[in-house]
Chain A
Amino acid sequence: DVKVTQSSRYLVKRTGEKVFLECVQDMDHENMFWYRQDPGLGLRLIYFSYDVKMKEKGDIPEGYSVSREKKERFSLILESASTNQTSMYLCASSLFPGAIYEQYFGPGTRLTVT
């Protein structure tokens, strides 16, 4: 079974803090993704990566950055957290490039910025 794990299920941070969300997959997948999920908006792609040290912006990259130093780990960084970044963050991975390949999701991290 493919397993995608996220470092925290719930996180509370203060405005202005630097926040790291970690994601690890154990199936040697090439591709990894970060989404945020908000009620009524569905999932929106923040960043994705098709290879180590490679990253591409998604639809809403502003206020976020990412790091992929190892194939299995993809980190989402909020340089200076703001209240409008309060959301559910979902990490996903897939075996091959191309969105037709099934994405496997982690359980999510619910981030609250106060």
Chain B
Amino acid sequence: AQSVTQLDSQVPVFEEAPVELRCNYSSSVSVYLFWYVQYPNQGLQLLLKYLSGSTLVESINGFEAEFNKSQTSFHLRKPSVHISDTAEYFCAVIVTFGVQGAQKLVFGQGTRLTINP
């Protein structure tokens, strides 16, 4: 079973419009959740993470994500997007494996966010 699923491969929105990028995780994995962003021609950067505590986490550039245990979701939202938010966004979850309990990040398929002027 897929550990993490991003429901939309592409999301086009107009500048200054709100956006939601959806992410669902398998209930069998840990509840350590991440969003990474990949700007054009760059590597991935951590955008925000949920490890414990408040279910709403925020990034420095206006994105927020809410951990929802009952719906096994960690959707990413921004109330008003800018052209500079154009990027691919990846949801990720920690999976523990092997007899020694090693950890790895498992990434979703990615959502390409395109902002139109």
Contacts and interface: CB of A to CB of B under 8 A. Distances in A.
Q: On chain B, which size bracket covers the interface?
A: 20 to 34
A58 to B, nearest CB: 7
Contact of B41 (A40, A43, A58, A107): A107
A52 B41 CA distance: 30
A38 to B, nearest CB: 10
B109 A99 contact: no
B32 interface: yes
A42 B105 contact: no
Nearest to A94: B105
B43 interface: yes
A99 B43 contact: no
A66 interface: no
Interface residues of A, number: 23
Contacts of B44: 43, 90, 92, 103, 105
A48 B102 CA distance: 11
Interface in A35-51: 35, 40-45, 48
Nearest to A41: B109
A40 B110 CA distance: 7
Interface in A45-77: 45, 48, 56, 58
A99 to B, nearest CB: 4
A106 B43 contact: yes
A45 B45 contact: no
Contacts of B32: 99-100
Given A40-B109, A42-B110, A43-B90, A103 B102 contact: no
Interface in A18-46: 35, 40-45
Contacts of B90: 42-43
A108 B43 contact: yes
A99 B94 CA distance: 6
Contact of B9 (A40, A44, A56, A98): A40
Interface of B: 6, 9, 32, 41-46, 49, 51, 90, 94-95, 102-110
Interface of A: 4, 35, 40-45, 48, 56, 58, 90, 92, 97-100, 102-103, 105-108
